[in-house]
């Protein structure tokens, strides 16, 4: 198994077949059914989305942990945000939504655009809550993202 979520972020953000093979070696061959046909360089979330359900849940939790760790390297946090965005779904939206308690306004703003890509009612709820953020740039981004989300619903 991977030792830390940040290692998974590095592997997933490399976007190469080699990174998928390294991940495969760490999570076990049975976790990546059909991996040879599905390995696509450029597919950021392939490494996680193709894992079996239990492994995918654990890895998504690892990514959420890296994202939530205010002491983690900012590049690792941003990479975790990117992979969660690529994975999409309500679980990712919830993990990303937790970032709005973070002190870094740039990360909160980045999270808004991630939620815009994911969409759905959970994303809309987090974006609406960001309308009252303490940072003007985050509030402005929240207004733009909310307009975009509501226009597509």
Angle (deg, nearest 10), helices 105-118 and 89-97 = 160
Q: How do the pLDDT tens digits run along the chain, 153 residues long?
A: 333 444 444 454 444 444 444 444 443 333 333 332 232 334 444 455 555 567 777 888 888 999 999 998 888 898 889 889 988 889 999 999 999 999 999 999 999 999 999 999 999 999 999 999 999 999 999 999 999 999 976
Which backbone phi and psi does 19 adopt, to 5 degrees? -65, -40
What is the model's pLDDT at position 153?
62
Q: Is the pTM of this model over 0.85?
A: no
CA dist 27 and 42 (Å) reads 20
The pLDDT assigned to 42 comes to 41
Per DSSP, 43 falls in state -
Please give the helix or strand (H or E) that residue 67 lies within, else none: helix 53-68
Structure tokens at 98: 């937790």
pLDDT reported for residue 49: 54
Tally Cβ neighbours within 10 Å of residue 70: 13
Helix, strand, coil content of the chain in percent (nearest 5): 75, 0, 25
């Amino acid at each position: 198994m991977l030792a830390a979520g940040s290692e998974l972020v590095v592997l997933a953000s490399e976007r190469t077949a080699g990174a998928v093979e390294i991940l495969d070696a760490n999570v076990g061959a049975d976790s990546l059914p059909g991996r040879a046909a599905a390995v696509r360089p450029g597919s950021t979330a392939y490494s996680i989305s193709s894992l079996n359900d239990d492994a995918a849940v654990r890895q998504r939790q690892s990514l959420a942990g890296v994202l939530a760790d205010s002491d983690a390297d900012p590049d690792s946090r941003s990479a975790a945000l990117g992979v969660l965005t690529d994975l999409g779904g309500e679980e990712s939206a919830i993990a990303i939504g937790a970032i709005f308690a973070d002190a870094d306004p740039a990360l909160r703003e980045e999270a808004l655009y991630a939620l815009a890509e994911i969409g759905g009612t959970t994303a809309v709820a987090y974006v609406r809550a960001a309308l009252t953020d303490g940072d003007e740039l985050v509030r402005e981004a929240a207004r733009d993202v909310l307009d975009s989300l509501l226009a597509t619903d």
